[in-house]
Amino acid sequence: MSDRLYDDNLYRFDTPQASYWEATAGDTAVNATTLTGHESCDVAIIGGGYTGLSAALHLARDYNIDVRLLEAGHIGWGASGRNGGFCTMGGTGVGRRELVKMVGLEKAREFCQSQVDAVELVREIGANEGVEYQTFGSAELDVAHTKRAFRGLKDDHELLTTKLGISAEIFTADECRERFFDSTEQYGALLTRPTFGLHPLRYCLGLANAAIRRGAALHERSEVLAWQKSDDGSHLISTAGGTLKAGKVIFSTNGFMPENLRPEFHARTLPVISAIIVTRPLTADEKAAHAWITEHPSINSRRILNYFRLLPDNRFMFGGRGNSTGHPKAEQETYVRLEAMLKKIWPGWAGVEVEYRWHGLIAMTGSLVPSIGCLDADDSVYFGYGYHGNGVNTATWTGKQLADWIGSGRMPALPQIVQGMGRKYPLARHRLKYLRAGIALSSWLDRRG
């Protein structure tokens, strides 16, 4: 059974993505070793992104539990080291109005509150653990790309502020131009809080160093190749260099999930490629050409949305859908497409060169909400995944929930909609076909306006 949907190019754990974040992370030293020989611990964590690192930090710090984490690449190799750095609310594969229709107002509100808590948790970790993650911006802008989309944002504003308890403001196109920026696709915007931008790799490495300081052991370049259960009930996890025996396991590999390690995780996620380009620093005149004065991370209202933000050194970051194969040629085509879109939306930047390009995997689930829990058939295996491209806060928060669950022996008060594994994808081998069909339909709806 092949466990990977995309080209091998996406799973080269020994090669860092040449991202802007890798180039600007500063001191990347993390006191992590490669697993060798035979080790044991109370809790083993597979996957060294925000989910796994947050779980390690909270287990070691709040419960004094002997925890070891195994990461296939270097710490932060996965999406946590190469995302857009939006610490925003989201986490689902549907908009908020659809979410309310799907699960009802009460459950949607409960989930939204957890998203607010999750943003605040990232802030608290920054402050309490001394993690310098270069905060930038203090709200998220959702920018209407058509007049019709602006009407939708007004409905969102009403729902968020009157029913979901989220702080939000609505701005007309003129107000948006005066206070934030202008573009060829700017028909007004919705601003939501709490939200901020950060340097995702610095945050990831800071989280790792905090976990180590609090007593967790981190192993990088330690890909888990096999995972068995011993007769005595313990887990035996093998890498190329060693084995780890553990009483409990947290499985936190999200979009890069190896599906062959345990049958329960087969076909639980649909990994989707997201890609980013970053320009050279914009000059003052170039910023003025589009009245750009905001630091807030922003998205547009397309179904296949773009996310963008000015970076602290005046570079412009623009991200969006990747390709659906992972082949190097398709990857290059994605960057060309993204650059063309950027320059169509902001024609004043037609001459601005792009200097960084990279991509990575996010994870969707069949239920379109995150999946958090422990296995029905084995309550010593915990998991958290499926943040739908919104993991800076959600993955951090999930890691803490799993740590609290294990540390206290009781399931924390999770929103009902994220509990458990959710739906499995039927016809699992054809998942990329669903994805392509979904992209084609959404692109058509976006073109229709």
- Applying CB under 6 A, the residues found at the interface with ligand FAD are 13, 46-52, 70-73, 77-80, 82-86, 223-224, 252-256, 258, 274, 276, 307, 319, 359-362, 387, 389-392, 395
- Tokens at 90, concatenated: 């989201």
CB nearer to ligand FAD: give 188 or 386: 386
Minimum Å gap between C-beta 172 and ligand FAD is 26
How many secondary structure helices (H) and strands (E) does the chain include? Answer: 11, 18
Minimum Å gap between C-beta 271 and ligand FAD is 9
Cα 272 from Cα 10, distance rounded (Å): 11
CB nearer to ligand FAD: give 153 or 224: 224
Phi, psi dihedral angles at 415 (to 5 degrees): -55, 140
CB nearer to ligand FAD: give 360 or 422: 360
CA 385 distance to own-chain centroid: 10
Cα 40 from Cα 264, distance rounded (Å): 24
CB nearer to ligand FAD: give 187 or 301: 301
The neighbouring-strand residues paired with 319 are 276, 307
CB nearer to ligand FAD: give 118 or 187: 118
* CA trace torsion 82, 304, 420, 162 (10° rounding): 110
For 266-276, b/e burial (b = at least 16 CB within 10 A) is bbbbbbbbbbb
DSSP assignment, residue 336?
H
Cα 144 from Cα 188, distance rounded (Å): 6
CB nearer to ligand FAD: give 90 or 407: 90
- Tokens at 115, concatenated: 């998203």
Minimum Å gap between C-beta 256 and ligand FAD is 4
CB nearer to ligand FAD: give 89 or 150: 89
Minimum Å gap between C-beta 351 and ligand FAD is 25
Minimum Å gap between C-beta 336 and ligand FAD is 17
Minimum Å gap between C-beta 449 and ligand FAD is 26
CB nearer to ligand FAD: give 187 or 305: 305
Minimum Å gap between C-beta 331 and ligand FAD is 12
Whether the ω angle into residue 194 lies within 30 degrees of 0, i.e. cis, is: yes
Minimum Å gap between C-beta 381 and ligand FAD is 15
| HSE (side-chain half, CA atoms, 13 Å) at 90 | 22
**Angle 170-171-177 from CA coordinates, rounded to 5°:** 155
Residue with tokens 């003025």: 288
CB 67 within 8 A of CB 217: yes
